[in-house]
Amino acid sequence: MILSCIHTHTTFCDGAADVETMCAAAFAKGFESLGFSSHAPIAAKTGIRTFWHLPDERLAEYIDTVLAARRRWAGRLKVFLGLEVDYIRGLCGPGDRDILDLPLDYIIGAVHYVPSPGGELFIVDAPEEEFVPGFRDYFDNDGGALVRAYWEAYGELIRAGGCDVLAHLDLVKKNNARFGFFSPEDPRYRRQLAETADLIAEVRSRSGAGTVPETGAESRRPGSGLPVVEVNTGGIIRGRTPDPYPSPAMLGLLKERNVPLTINADAHAPDHLGGAYGTAAADMRKAGYTAMLVFEGREAGKALWREEPLDP
């Protein structure tokens, strides 16, 4: 199968290796392309300080470094410049003007921060020592409330537009594997999946629109607003989930609605590149997919994708 990953982190945020090391690893593995998607800076905009976002003051250096790598690897590895942008209710999102104005090839939209019923922000994929007290104090250990809040936030991200790729769709299951706060078989959960799949299909059908009255975000550029869903193997690679994001059940719902998929490793280290791609492809085939999308770059403001068969 064609190997590509446009969801890649480096030492600019919480990755383990620098841009050049990741490029060399991708090239050695026979990758066609590698796209960098540092966690976009949020500190200046939101006041939230973390170790895992790109610092605001390093954004220009990040862009320069990736563009220099693109020139260095030309003819051997296609290098793309992107960002993984957090949607945080009322604070920031992929449709923000400052993000749209950057010279990016693509934007990955993500929900890590989920507002609790009391308004506190909770990181849904937080490590145990942070997850356990937050789930208790903000959600009263109510799994249904957390799951509801998560899908609500994800729906807002989808409606907000501005992103080319929807990241790790059912990330809420990451900590569920350890703490079991909801059942994926629960009809309410199934309904949340179906509603989310409907929403993605609806946004995709508004060809070229991609505007988002709710957040005031403007249409990105002509032809945008058609988000692609990634099949993200990061949870498998790091031993957190047996399935990719999203799970086979969601892949089936997306297939019924003809939503195209691309495969990413959410790589945080060189050996993550291409990890569990076979599992992702097998799950996609089981869901009825015969092809995947491979990112091709940006032209006239439009994300370009190419369809490739899912080889057995």
In the complex, the residues that contact Zn ion under the rule CB under 5 A are: 84, 110, 266
In this complex, which beta carbon is closest to Zn ion, that of residue 82 or of residue 211? 82
Residue 102 CB, nearest distance to Zn ion (Å)?
A: 17
For residue 244, the Cα-to-chain-centroid distance in whole angstroms is 12
In this complex, which beta carbon is closest to Zn ion, that of residue 86 or of residue 96? 86
In this complex, which beta carbon is closest to Zn ion, that of residue 85 or of residue 255? 85
Residue 126 CB, nearest distance to Zn ion (Å)?
A: 12
Q: What six digits make up the tokens of 3?
A: 């190997």
Q: What six digits make up the tokens of 103?
A: 């010279």
Locus of tokens 């990105």: 220
Residue 88 CB, nearest distance to Zn ion (Å)?
A: 13
Residue 168 CB, nearest distance to Zn ion (Å)?
A: 6
If DSSP states are collapsed to H, E and C, what string results for 129-175? HHHHHHHHHHHCCCHHHHHHHHHHHHHHHHHHCCCCEECCCCCCHHH
The Cα 146–Cα 114 span in angstroms is 8
CB-based contacts of 204: which residues, under 8 Å, 6+ apart?
Answer: 226, 227, 259
Residue 290 CB, nearest distance to Zn ion (Å)?
A: 27
**Contact (CB, 8 A) for 297 and 105:** yes
In this complex, which beta carbon is closest to Zn ion, that of residue 83 or of residue 197? 83
In this complex, which beta carbon is closest to Zn ion, that of residue 219 or of residue 243? 243
**Helix residue ranges per DSSP H, the chain:** 19-28, 43-46, 59-73, 97-100, 128-139, 143-160, 173-179, 187-205, 234-237, 248-256, 277-286
**Contact (CB, 8 A) for 282 and 274:** no
Residues in the chain: 312
Residue 278 CB, nearest distance to Zn ion (Å)?
A: 21
In this complex, which beta carbon is closest to Zn ion, that of residue 37 or of residue 215? 37
